[in-house]
Amino acid sequence: MALVEINFDGIVGPSHNYAGLSLGNLASTRNAGEVSQPRAAALQGIDKMRANLKLGLSQGIFLPHPRPDRAWLSDLGTRIEDADPVIAANAMSASAMWAANAATVSPAPDTADGKCHLTVANLRTMPHRSHEWPATIAQLRLAFAGESFAVHDPVPTGFGDEGAANHMRLAPAHGKPAVEVFVYGVSGGAFPARQHLEASKAIARLHRLDPGRLIFAEQSEAAIAAGAFHNDVVAVANERVLFAHEQAFADKWGLLSKLETKVPGFEYVEVAAAEVPLADAIRSYLFNAQLVTPPDGQPTLILPAEARETVSVWSWIERHLAGNGPIRRVEIVDVRQSMANGGGPACLRLRVVADPTAVDPRFMVNDAKLEMIADVIRREWPEQIHRDDLQQPQLIADIERARIALLEALGLGELA
């Protein structure tokens, strides 16, 4: 079985809008009420996936969820046509596009039973995300139906779990046994800590991980208070490399000491606060990047265009590349529509180390399939949405029709 890292990107849904629903997500709050461009947003995501394929990476997809979520509205005793506007906005959110919050993944080399385990995130902290998991797990159970996978229900909602955005895996290579790092929050001042320690511990037990290759690390209060609502806004790991802001962790030295002991060849790349303040790192999503190893072996950082436009961030990148550091190449992608709602390149993907042939092929893509998806998006996705229009009957009909058209094109009608 050839194990490789597959990036599963969420396709931006046709209801993509800026309703400002995410407390602690500064970009989401800053752009609340702006006019969104669902078609452009989805096509930007397709272009990002094309760039990944060009690098030689394996690429998969997750599909938009049913929007409006009529089942959730029914549980609240209402319909999209009658709901309070705030409830309607929560029912129309396209936030499932941020696949880093879909699940936590422990690949086969790390687990006692030799299976790749996935636990769907409950996302219980925010109402607009708390109803995502049923549609997410339906896709996970299709995509990873084979005997080499185990898909778990969410952790009970008493404990908040926001998926892979708060989970890192470090190993000499993707297919080797790894140290898994679960990052949790305790306090963020005015903002909630979304990943609970008990949820992380439960996932580690469900995934049958070796306690000797397991670390629980607290995210710093300063990072959460500055708007780092998930760990992947201030840190990203890939194989032997941890790339992080100086203020990412509550006990940085304790974490580094453990990783140096447990991960052969471990390398730490730190961005000092004196060089890149937390505010700049979060605004540019320097760390919410995809740190990947293409087949040519050159560790590559896939950054949003905003990183190049932030002086302190781009200066740091240039110094690192010139200094022959662990990150050898930078690729820039335009995901401005996602960035404006608080999600960079890393938010849009879930990393799964697995044999691609073991995955349902309907969820794997090549250039031809991406072009077919783009055709559907160009034809069906709304061009613009304002949050005040979310209950307009014609827009609702257009959004529902667009999603069905994509499912039919991909042969995934069972998700309708």
Tokens representing residue 74 in the block: 């029914």
Q: Which of 168, 29, 102 is nearest to 347 (CA)?
A: 102
Integer Cα distance of 179 and 171 in angstroms: 6
Catalytic residue among 162, 180, 331, 380: 162
First CA to last CA distance, the chain: 32
Answer for the pair 15, 88: CB distance below 8 angstroms, yes or no.
Answer: no
Question: Is 162 a residue of the active site?
Answer: yes
**Residue given tokens 């949790």 in the structure block:** 184
The set of residues, in sequence order, having a beta carbon less than 8 Å from that of 327 and lying 6+ positions away, is 241, 243, 269, 291, 299, 300, 301, 320, 321
* 3-state class (DSSP) for residue 317: helix
Q: Which of 56, 42, 28, 18 is nearest to 356 (CA)?
A: 56
Report helix angle 367-380 to 38-54, nearest 10.
Answer: 170
Catalytic residue among 16, 65, 196, 230: 230
Integer Cα distance of 202 and 195 in angstroms: 12
Q: Which of 145, 148, 103 is nearest to 121 (CA)?
A: 103
* 3-state class (DSSP) for residue 207: coil
Question: Is 116 a residue of the active site?
Answer: no
Question: Is 230 a residue of the active site?
Answer: yes
Integer Cα distance of 257 and 266 in angstroms: 10
What are the angstrom distances between the C-alpha of 279 and each of 66, 301, 313, 393?
35, 20, 11, 40
Report helix angle 393-409 to 367-380, nearest 10.
Answer: 160
Strand partners, 268: 242
DSSP 37-77: -HHHHHHHHHHHHHHHHHTT-EEEEEPPPPSS-HHHHHHTT
Tokens representing residue 344 in the block: 């960079």
Catalytic positions, written as ranges: 162, 230, 347
